Amino acid sequence: MNFARIGSALALAAFVAAPFALPTAANAQANEQFIPSLSYRTGPFGPNGTPFADGFLDYFKMINARDGGINGVRITYEECETAYNTDRGVECYERLKAKGPTGATAIVPLSTGITYALIERTAQDKIPMLTSGYGRSDGSDGRVFPWMFTLPATYHSQMDAILQFVKSKEKGSLKGKKISFIYHDSAFGKEPLPVIQRLAKEEGFELSEFPVPNPGVEQKAIWLRIGRQIRPNYVIMWGWGVMNPTAIQEAAAVGFPRDKFIGVWWAGSEQDVTPPGDAAKGYMAANFHGTGKDYKFMRDIEATVIKAGQGTGEARHVGTVLYNRGAINAAMVVEAVRTAQERYGNKPMTGEQVRWGFENLNLSPQRLAAMGFEGFMPPLRTSCADHEGGGVVRIQQWDGKAWNWVSEWIEPNRAALRQGYEASSMQYAREKNITPRDCANQS
């Protein structure tokens, strides 16, 4: 064996050993709060995952730049690419969960599939999981899912609110009306089915369901049936990624009116309505926060992060729906940490302490004003039993250039939804041998 070979063998050995030799020794005592970001900038859902991940990180950068962290505790973060792939998501979670002085603060998976895979892991590792506007709806029952937070609203709440909106448009009655429901054929798309099926019975409308296979580019046959045969009064869609612009284009192709077509809040971003162009005019979608840059915290992000050249992604994404949604997710994590600090002191919080923060989160109008969120989102308040926090839903419409509100904030009918959550969470508890917590004696 000659020297060149020995050299290359050594280089290879160093290369192989590098990832194994990384454990975090340096920041053992640092005054830092580590927050992982499971993002997807590649793969079929990359165009949607990118602005979300940018907004998520930019908010932390803004908190660090403007306030010097959360009460003096600087936020650190690391991104890991999941490509919207469940097994890669699990790998990312395992890779990042123990980093930083106190481990991962909270997990924001941004994928219903990854959420399901992490439910047990997060409970075992004592890391709260924030599934804001996706994931398991019955996760709102904090007695069975202590580590899961669904604030501000679940798919069940959202479906209820959308149907309330449709009902108000149909002069207060859905009796005899026809509604078609198009959904991504996965855990994500199927989640609201129990609610729309129940309301179809209660309200007396005729429901037709159309599952769309992943990733959702084949919808011709579905839209021919909808546009030519069924001719429903409204179409509701649970779509994500490429499925959404495809649906809008197909709706235009069969002449289905776009102002009778409402998407889930994952089908209501600029990425969904820009490709179809004019065909998307009049299309509506749900949302739980404002769009645009006209909010105090957005001006702070612009001033301290974007103008300073520290923006994570392209500046054109700033202020778009998904960017703002990334920011609101980040803000909820930050506020949970802040709440936890009120009880445990201004130092890096552990997962367990942040969980307490999430459970006692009170985003009152005063608190929202202090965060710079005035007019961006309505107040929220969580409790031990209610991990959803009573968020509200609003419908927006695309006018060809921007999203405009076309409804007031709609309060989902939580009493009926709660029954559904509890029935489903109790079934889960039975299957998993979980004894629900008694919320009466939780501090």
Q: Does 121 bind another protein (CB under 8 A)?
A: yes
Q: Does 198 bind another protein (CB under 8 A)?
A: no
Alpha carbons 78 and 34: distance in angstroms, whole number = 8
Which is closer to another protein, CB of 2 or CB of 443? 2
Q: Does 117 bind another protein (CB under 8 A)?
A: yes
Q: Dihedrals φ, ψ of 396, to 5°?
A: -120, 155
CB 282 within 8 A of CB 398: yes
Lookup: tokens for 8? 């290359």
Q: Does 194 bind another protein (CB under 8 A)?
A: yes
Only one of the segments 60-68, 78-86, 163-171, 362-370 lies at the binding site for another protein (rule: CB under 8 A); that segment is: 78-86
Which is closer to another protein, CB of 279 or CB of 426? 426
Q: Which residues from 90-109 bind another protein, rule CB under 8 A?
A: 90-91, 94-95, 97-98
How many Å is the maximal CA-CA distance in the chain?
A: 86
- Cβ neighbours around 60 below 10 Å, total: 25
Q: Does 131 bind another protein (CB under 8 A)?
A: no
Q: Which residues from 409-438 bind another protein, rule CB under 8 A?
A: 424, 427, 431-433
Q: Which residues from 312-371 bind another protein, rule CB under 8 A?
A: none
H-helix segments, 307-400: 321-344, 351-359, 365-371
Alpha carbons 221 and 179: distance in angstroms, whole number = 17
Q: Which residues from 45-74 bind another protein, rule CB under 8 A?
A: 46, 50, 53
Q: Does 124 bind another protein (CB under 8 A)?
A: yes
In the complex, least distance from residue 75 CB atom to another protein, rounded to whole angstroms: 17
- Cβ neighbours around 335 below 10 Å, total: 21
For another protein, which residue of 13, 87, 173, 365 counts as binding (CB under 8 A)? 87
Give the total of residues touching another protein (CB under 8 A): 48
CA distances from 391 to 86, 152, 379, 387 (A): 28, 4, 7, 10
- The 239-278 contact track toward another protein, x by CB under 8 A, reads ----------------------------------------
Q: Which residues from 203-242 bind another protein, rule CB under 8 A?
A: 211, 214
Give Rg (Cα) of the chain: 23
Q: Does 187 bind another protein (CB under 8 A)?
A: yes
Alpha carbons 79 and 53: distance in angstroms, whole number = 9
Q: What is the dihedral of CA 245, 251, 254, 256, to 10 degrees?
A: -160
Q: Does 18 bind another protein (CB under 8 A)?
A: yes
Alpha carbons 38 and 97: distance in angstroms, whole number = 11
Nearest to 376 by CA among 434, 260, 291, 437: 291
**Residue 67 identity:** D
The count of residues in the chain is: 443
Which is closer to another protein, CB of 278 or CB of 431? 431
Residue with tokens 């996965």: 186
Which is closer to another protein, CB of 221 or CB of 402? 221
Residue with tokens 């769309």: 212
Q: Does 150 bind another protein (CB under 8 A)?
A: no
For another protein, which residue of 2, 4, 5, 15 counts as binding (CB under 8 A)? 15
Q: Which residues from 367-406 bind another protein, rule CB under 8 A?
A: none
In the complex, least distance from residue 72 CB atom to another protein, rounded to whole angstroms: 26
Q: Which residues from 157-186 bind another protein, rule CB under 8 A?
A: 185-186
SS3 of 159, please? helix
| Chain positions contacting another protein, by CB under 8 A | 15, 18-19, 21-22, 39, 41-42, 46, 50, 53, 78-81, 83, 86-87, 90-91, 94-95, 97-98, 112-113, 116-117, 119-121, 123-124, 136, 185-187, 190-191, 193-194, 211, 214, 424, 427, 431-433
